[in-house]
Amino acid sequence: MEQSGTSPRLAGVVHDLASEVVSVLRDGGHSSVVGGTVGTLADDQLGLAAVRVLGADVLLPSVLTRRRPLPDDLAVFQRAVVTFAPKATSSATTVWSHWAMTQTLHRLDVSATGAHARPDASWLDDLEWQRLTHQLSLLGALAVPGADSAIAQAAARRPVDVARGFVRAVRRRDWLQAAGAGRWLSVIDGVPDTLGLDTGLEFVGQMAGTDARVGLHVHAARHIRAGAGGRKAEGREAGGRG
């Protein structure tokens, strides 16, 4: 399920939910994401739909801080996974988004409903860089540290193309696509130093204003890059001691 074409009410709840995710990330992952947005009722259909639109990012604070989700967040997230299982006619991005939600549960050592085979991602390999960036931006929730999905592998094989897509999205003022591409660039190697990703992310965040989904991707990318910088520094120190 993607946000495009959703009702204004649903878009509003998605906006609020994305804002809560950013707030919890800033808080260090100690607060509930859904408590102030969709409530604690796992049968709130509008709230569940908003969780499905945002996908695995609803539990992003738990993924990045390695803390088990709070009970309310977990209950609503699991309910959304069951309620909005993809259909045979669902798009590839919808299937992958759902897969990412189930894998997030496994990653957090939470039991997920049923076994879910990894979807096919070979269709990404034949896309021109513009379309590749567009598709990756729709699947920005899969861009997390240590990601080993076929989507992440496809992005990792084409860092220059994703960087080109990021620049193109910025020039076109497509802030959501730029933020999603920037998030992918924060988790893959081989990104050209000349890109100036940190400056670019800051610019995208400023220009997007109050768009909470853009803010979520930008905040996630900064968080990931800060953590990666720390890990690299530790690695250099360890190498020096050796």
Predicted confidence (pLDDT) per residue in 85-98, tens digit: 899 899 999 999 99
Q: Is residue 221 over pLDDT 90?
A: yes
Which pLDDT does position 39 carry in this prediction?
Answer: 60
Residues 144 and 11: their CA atoms lie apart, in Å, by 24
Mean pLDDT of 147-152: 90
What is the structure's pLDDT at 112?
60
From the list 162, 179, 167, 171, the residue with the least C-alpha distance to 214 is: 179
Tell me what pLDDT residue 36 has. 64
Structural contact between residues 163 and 185, judged by C-beta atoms closer than 8 angstroms: yes
Categorize the per-residue pLDDT at 171 as very low, low, confident or very high, splitting at 50, 70 and 90.
Answer: very high
Find all residues with CB under 8 Å of 177, minimum gap 6, and list them.
133, 134, 137, 165, 169
Cβ atoms of residues 161 and 126 within 8 Å: no
Q: What is the pLDDT of residues 15-53, one digit of tens each?
A: 999 999 999 988 876 788 887 666 655 558 888 999 999
What confidence score (pLDDT) does residue 163 get?
98
Confidence of residue 197 (pLDDT cuts 50, 70, 90): very high
Query: How high is the pLDDT of residue 7?
Result: 81
Q: What's the pLDDT score for residue 114?
A: 52
| Rounded-to-integer distance, Cα 72 and Cα 90, Å | 28
pLDDT mean over 152-176: 97
Q: Which residues contact 161 (CB under 8 A, 6 or more apart)?
A: 129, 132, 133
d(CA 151, CA 97): 11
By percentage, how much of the chain surpasses pLDDT 70?
Answer: 85
Tell how far CA 49 is from the center of its chain.
Answer: 17
pLDDT at 150 over 80: yes
In angstroms, the CA 84 to CA 95 distance is 10
Residue 237, pLDDT score: 38
CB count in 10 Å sphere of residue 202: 13
pTM above 0.85, yes or no: yes
